[in-house]
């Protein structure tokens, strides 16, 4: 289930790049769209658990979950959406791919451990692959806003690292609680933060949601991207380590490029194929220990089932 769910989040997040693009092109304010997406997703999942009779009271005013929502949802997406006004989506994808390395560095610093050379080389290999995949769309005029946008994405990924590590800690502490429920509260708080900033800065127009072109990307992002993708991300965090699930940031740009070719006739160049090989190789090597551990667990479980029969 670990590897299957990892593949699912890579595919899901690979498709969300396209859905976000369609949503912004429909005329909905970016932060407003993101705020609606995460607020609705959080409320729907919380309502589901309430209907099941789960006591959610202890998470309603949890400062720790608010902090995770601020880091994982608000800071990651507000900086990314703002930055994409001044940099290309390809460059944004490359800068976002620093997330796993930031998580690794923060985690090692917190645990006072040295970095494994093999894992670092693997992550750098995958990062180089993302650069190759996104290279055709990176060229852009450099300006002060361009530099500020690059810094904003990197800042967002730093908060993504803090949020992932803190999320792992709270998921471990509440191991008997569904990761989907804890993720729902962090999405809700992150979504509310996004809406507040949107109303302050963007002055969004509610009537922009009147067309189906604006509504369907939000619905897709609510149910598939947020409830499905971010829910599975939290589940993987609870079962593995913060670095493993975050490596979707390497694989998803590759999937998004393939989708762009089939859906929007965006060109694919030979250098992108080289990037794809580097990404898949780097992710496989970086996560080899995780893959091996859960493969062994699967074999042991099969043996136990066969013995019981």
Query: Domain residues of the chain, as ranges?
Result: 2-308
Residue 307: its pLDDT value, please? Answer: 54
C-alpha separations of 106 from 46, 72, 111, 170 in Å = 30, 15, 9, 17
Residue tagged 């949107």 (tokens): 198
CB 249 within 8 A of CB 14: no
Q: Classify 178 in phi/psi space as left (phi over 0), alpha (psi -120 to 50) or beta.
A: beta
C-alpha separations of 70 from 127, 159, 199, 217, 261 in Å = 26, 8, 17, 23, 34
Terminal C-alpha separation, the chain: 22
CA distance 259 to 251: 13
Q: Classify 27 in phi/psi space as left (phi over 0), alpha (psi -120 to 50) or beta.
A: left
Residue 308: its pLDDT value, please? Answer: 53
Could you count the other beta carbons within 10 Å of the beta carbon of residue 67? 17
pLDDT 10s digit of each residue in the chain, 309 long?
888 899 999 999 888 877 887 887 888 898 999 999 999 999 999 999 999 999 999 999 999 999 999 999 999 999 988 887 788 776 777 788 888 888 888 887 777 666 677 878 888 898 888 888 877 666 667 788 888 988 999 999 999 999 999 999 999 999 999 999 999 999 999 999 999 999 999 899 888 898 999 999 999 999 999 999 999 999 999 998 888 888 898 888 888 778 777 776 767 778 878 888 888 888 888 777 665 665 555 554 455 545 555
Distance of CA 6 to the CA centre of its chain: 12
DSSP type of residue 241? -
CB 31 within 8 A of CB 75: no
Q: Of 188, 215, 236, 220, nearest to 10 (Cα)?
A: 236
Q: Of 57, 69, 132, nearest to 97 (Cα)?
A: 132
pTM (two decimals): 0.85
Residue 9: its pLDDT value, please? Answer: 93
Helix axes 99-111, 117-134, angle to 10 degrees: 160
C-alpha separations of 265 from 246, 258, 260, 262 in Å = 29, 10, 6, 6
Burial 274-297 (b: 16+ CB within 10 A, else e): ebbebbbebbebbbeebeeebeee
Q: Where are the alpha helices (DSSP H) in 139-227?
A: 144-173, 179-201, 212-220
CA distance 70 to 52: 27
Residues in contact with 65: Cβ distance below 8 Å, sequence separation at least 6, in sequence order: 59, 170, 182, 185, 186, 189
CB 99 within 8 A of CB 161: yes
CA distance 20 to 192: 19
């Amino acid at each position: 289930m670990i590897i299957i769910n990892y593949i699912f989040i890579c595919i899901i997040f690979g498709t969300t790049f396209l859905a976000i693009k369609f949503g912004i092109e429909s005329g909905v304010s970016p932060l407003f769209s993101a705020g609606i997406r995460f607020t609705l997703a959080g409320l729907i999942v919380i309502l589901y658990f309430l209907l099941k009779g789960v006591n959610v009271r202890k998470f309603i005013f949890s400062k720790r979950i608010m902090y995770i929502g601020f880091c994982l949802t608000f800071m990651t997406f507000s900086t990314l959406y703002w930055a994409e006004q001044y940099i290309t989506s390809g460059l944004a994808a490359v800068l976002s791919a620093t997330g796993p390395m930031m998580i690794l560095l923060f985690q090692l610093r917190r645990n006072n451990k040295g970095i494994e050379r093999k894992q670092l080389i693997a992550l750098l290999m995958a990062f180089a692959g993302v650069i190759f995949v996104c290279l055709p769309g990176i060229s852009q005029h450099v300006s002060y806003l361009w530099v500020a946008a690059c810094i904003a994405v990197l800042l967002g990924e730093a908060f993504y690292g803090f949020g992932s590590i803190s999320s792992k800690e709270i998921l471990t502490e509440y191991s008997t609680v569904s990761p989907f429920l804890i993720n729902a509260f962090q999405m809700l708080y992150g979504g509310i933060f996004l809406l507040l900033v949107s109303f302050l800065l963007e002055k969004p127009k509610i009537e922009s949601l009147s067309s189906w072109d604006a509504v369907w990307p939000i619905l897709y992002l609510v149910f598939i991207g947020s409830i499905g993708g971010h829910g599975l991300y939290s589940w993987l965090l609870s079962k593995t380590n913060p670095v493993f699930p975050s490596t979707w940031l390497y694989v998803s740009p590759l999937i998004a490029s393939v989708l762009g070719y089939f859906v929007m006739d965006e060109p694919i160049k030979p250098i992108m194929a080289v990037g794809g090989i580097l990404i898949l190789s780097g992710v496989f090597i970086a996560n080899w220990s995780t893959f091996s551990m859960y493969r062994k667990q699967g074999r042991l479980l099969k043996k136990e089932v066969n013995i019981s029969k």
